[in-house]
Structure 1
Amino acid sequence: MTTGLEFRVDRENFDRTDIAEVALPEADELEPGQALLRVDRFALTANNISYAATGVALRYWEFFPTAPGMGVIPVWGFAEVAASRCEGLDVGERLYGYWPMATHLVVTPGHLSRGSFVDVTPHRQSLPVIYNQYLRCAADPLYRQDTEALQMLLRPLFTTSFLLDDFLSDNNFFAADTVLLTSASSKTALGMAYLLHRHRAGRERDYRIIGLTSEGNRGFVESLGCYDQVLCYPELEQLDAQAPTVVVDFAGNAELLSRIHRHVDTQLRYSCLVGASHWDKMGATGALPGPEPIMFFAPTQAEKRISEWGAPRFQQNLAQEWQAFTDFVSQWMQVETNLGPTQTDRVYHQVLAGRLQPESGHIVSLSEA
């Protein structure tokens, strides 16, 4: 019997992990239309911890079901077709997309085109299509072999950054003059700050971009030049409480969000929840002054723009911004690759504990090579 590996976390205690052997189908055991994919390498970032922290609310646990009480965290990376009974999808083809933390995945490709397919496996049908779509690298306009690491680390995060920037612009920044980003060193926040800074001169509304971060990350965040002001968390109350403000919360820290609401109070125009990099400090905020915090769900804004612009223009706009962003990021990001189950577990726990430097990027694989 052929087996693969699956990295599982306790859904109630993310510190508790298990790497389990799972049976894999032989090529002749696949159903007609199915394919077995070998997950090659993937990125581990705070974004993956956010998937776990919001796994029930946003249904992330449902993509890759596993043993009761456990969950498989979704990741972004590359895979190759190991076996195929799907006409038009050949063994050896390289794919980019949304994978389990595992060595393999069985998919049922539907809507197969030159550039992509959608996994139409029954349990995924009610889940957002943006996570079910897999890109065929040979026809992907954003794919370059020499930037695979940046694609794994940043492409899904930057897509969220792109959609957040577009969402605020689409809503005229809710008439705010200040955009406050928490966890300002996180990669999604950096991508958003980069876009806010890049596009500000061409927008009707002027705004200040302010980042909140830890003392240890302050120098790095300031050095990037994307933020007009960088404050450490204890300095929050230095923020001008009279300026109409939008907060985009990447931290998921209930106490911090409460402080922001109470300080800005009636001048808070919109409270947007995105990530949970401080997942261990999530909790009920209680009644807060100002607008009720609203979770940002990137697929909703993506579907809105695709319906308005059409898919080709959406991809063109995203690709143009992505190219400029990767040129910016390549100047400072340090990529580290770790292979095998032991190293994957080590990096996962480092990410979970928030012990990684903001300029670092980690690529891992459950395979040894």
Structure 2
Amino acid sequence: MTASNQTFVVDQANLDQCTTLEMPQVNADQLVEGEALLTVDHFAFTANNITYAALGKRFKYWDFFPAEAPWGQIPVWGFADVAASKHPEIKTGSRVYGYLPMANQLVVKPGKVSKSSFVDTSEHRQHLALAYNQYLFTDSDPAYRPEHEALQMLLRPLLITSFLLDDFLATKDFFGADQIILTSASSKTALGLAFMLSHQRKTRGKPLTITALTSAGNLSFVESLGYYDRVVSYDDIDQLDSNQSTVSVDFAGNGEVLTALHKHFKDRMLFSSLVGAAHWDQRGGDKDLPGAKPEVFFAPGYWEVRGKELGNAALMQRFAELWAPLVASVESWMKITTVEGQEAVRKAYLDTLHGNIQPDQGLILKP
């Protein structure tokens, strides 16, 4: 029986439809000069990956690991090992962290190789954001700890977005608002932002009220973390003080919730940021909203802007200073579950798609 590269795919137009394709396995002798073969070890799967799928066409997430229509490969963050290399600077056996397909293998064309990383310069990835094309060598990553691989996969991509949002809002002095509301407040990206806002409040000297909007079922969990000043269910938006000047950061992608917020605060909604699509199936709502016009926040684009202003090393150092205390906090409440095999991967995907994963659960998948 010929070994295969099992590749999990979803229908780009109907995310409920998914399957595993048996693709030919790549062998070392099939590589051309300058290529390397990665064997995927394990990866995280969160609501963030559902956002990649829901916004796949708009933000070109389907382009990273192309599949034959109508299928698409959802990108994931994880660890892989160099199984074979025909690149002089890439050593077989090296372990890397980065953007991977939900598959057993990935062929890359390393460029811009340094002691710490390389960039996949494959032709089909040239038009895509650099942040997603870079692979870090674990043996030279100062933040890497083998025992923290699960937390790195689960949190680092999300917390980079949290960090960049925090930085963006701080540079704007939070648009002069007295309150910041985070929807889908139990999502890991929202929790990361809430922690950073709370953690830095004293040094910033700005008494910004941090308000969580979440489902009734997650109220007690969100309250227990202590990251938010106020925790409110979606059903109780009308209980908020409509005169309080407000910034909204929408991680839910739920048009009805966003509409309710804007209509409640009206011209007191000073800024409205659209980040994720955790509630991917409930988008909609009114298009003509009172208050500030909602703006999409694209983290890789903002990283490139701030990287040019501050230098990438300085920006990464700022992130590292927040990463350590947040990981210490998250370790106290996150329950990590590892599942293995294609049927388990399928179930984990569908559970995440339909919101059946508890907010304190972290899923690690092995293909």
Report the TM-score when normalising by structure 1: 0.97
Residue of structure 1 equivalent to 2:177: 176
In 1, the alpha carbon distance for the partners of 2:234 and 2:226 equals 19
Q: Which residue of 1 is the match for residue 23 of structure 2? A: 22
In 1, Cα distance between equivalents of 2:87 and 2:3: 21
Residue 28 of structure 1: how far off its partner (Å): 1.7
CA–CA separation in structure 1 for the residues paired with 2:31 and 2:285 = 46
- State the 4+ residue runs in structure 1 displaced beyond 6 angstroms: none
CA distance in 2, matches of 1:296, 1:270: 12
Q: Which residue in the other structure is 1:255 paired with?
A: 256
The correspondence of residues 101-180 of structure 1 with structure 2, limited to 5 A, is 101-180=102-181
Structure 1 CA distance, aligned partners of 2:212 and 2:155?
19
Q: Hey, what does 2:68 align to over in structure 1?
A: 67
Looking at structure 2, the residues matched to 322 and 285 of structure 1 have their Cα atoms a distance apart, in angstroms, of: 37
Q: Tell me how far 1:205 sits from its aligned partner.
A: 3.0
Is 1:357–2:348 an aligned residue pair? no
Q: State the secondary structure of the residue aligned to 1:169.
A: helix
| Secondary structure in 2 matching 1:19 | strand
Q: Counterparts of 1:167-206 in structure 2 under 5 Å?
A: 167-206=168-207
1:181-214 superposed Cα distances (whole Å, 9 cap, x missing partner): 0000000000000000001111143210000001
Contact 1:157 1:188 in 2 (8 A): yes
Partner in structure 2 of residue 268 of structure 1? 269
8 Å CA contact 1:75–1:100 kept in 2: the answer is yes
> SS where residue 200 of structure 2 aligns?
helix
CA distance in 2, matches of 1:29, 1:47: 34
For the residue of structure 1 that corresponds to 2:326, the secondary structure is helix
Shift of 1:25: 2.7
In 1, Cα distance between equivalents of 2:281 and 2:197 = 29
Tell me the alpha carbon deviations over residues 284-327 of structure 1, each in whole angstroms, 9 at most, x when there is no partner. 53211112211110012211221122122122221121111100
**Partner SS state of residue 263, structure 1:** helix
Residues 258 and 285 in structure 2, CA contact (< 8 A), matched pair in contact too: no
The alignment partner of 1:147 has SS state of helix
CA contact (8 A) 1:2 1:25 kept: no
Looking at structure 2, the residues matched to 24 and 240 of structure 1 have their Cα atoms a distance apart, in angstroms, of: 59
Q: Deviations over 1:217-266 (max 9, x none)?
A: 10110011110000001001111111110000000001111111111110
Aligned to 2:6: 5
Q: Distance in 2 between matches of 1:77 and 1:104?
A: 12
Aligned-pair CA distance for 1:3: 2.2
Q: Which amino acid aligns with 2:156?
A: R
Are 2:89 and 1:88 aligned? yes
- Contact 1:141–1:319, Cα closer than 8 Å, also in 2: no
Structure 2 unaligned spans of 5+: none
Between Structure 1 and Structure 2, how many residues are aligned? Answer: 366
Counterpart Cα distance in 1 of 2:64 and 2:89: 24
Give the secondary-structure state (helix, strand or coil) at the position aligned to 1:117: strand
Secondary structure of the equivalent of 1:22?
Answer: strand
Where does 1:213-292 land on structure 2 (aligned, <5 Å)? Answer: 213-283=214-284, 285-292=286-293
1:343 aligned partner: 344
Alpha-carbon distance in structure 2 between the residues aligned to 1:213 and 1:273? 16
Specify the SS of the correspondent of 2:91.
coil
The answer on whether the counterparts of 1:43 and 1:363 sit within 8 Å (CA) in structure 2 is: yes
Q: Distance in 1 between matches of 2:86 and 2:4?
A: 19
State the match for 2:325 in structure 1. Answer: 324
The 1-side partners of 2:204 and 2:320 are apart by 20
Counterparts in 2 of 1:280-319, with a 5 A limit? Answer: 280-283=281-284, 285-319=286-320
1:89, CA displacement in angstroms? Answer: 0.9
* Other structure's SS at 2:207 match: coil
Post-superposition offset of 1:90: 1.3
Give the partner amino acid of 1:34. E
What is the CA distance between 1:131 and its match in structure 2?
0.2
State the alpha-carbon separation in 2 of the partners of residues 17 and 45 from structure 1: 17
Q: Structure 1: which 5+ residue stretches go unaligned?
A: none
> How many angstroms does 1:276 deviate by?
0.8
Letter in 1 for 2:247: V
Q: Does 1:208 align with 2:212?
A: no
Counterpart of 1:216, as a letter, is: G
Aligned to 1:318, the other structure's residue is in SS state helix
Which range is displaced more, 284-293 or 215-224? Answer: 284-293
Residue 3 of structure 1 aligns with an amino acid whose one-letter code is S
Where 1:290 maps in the other structure, the secondary structure is coil
User: Residue deviations 1:153-175, cap 9 Å, x none?
Assistant: 11100111111111100111011
Percent same amino acid at aligned positions? 49
The amino acid of 1:67's aligned partner reads E
Q: Matched residues in 1 for 2:286 and 2:80: separation? A: 40
Counterpart secondary structure, 1:275: coil
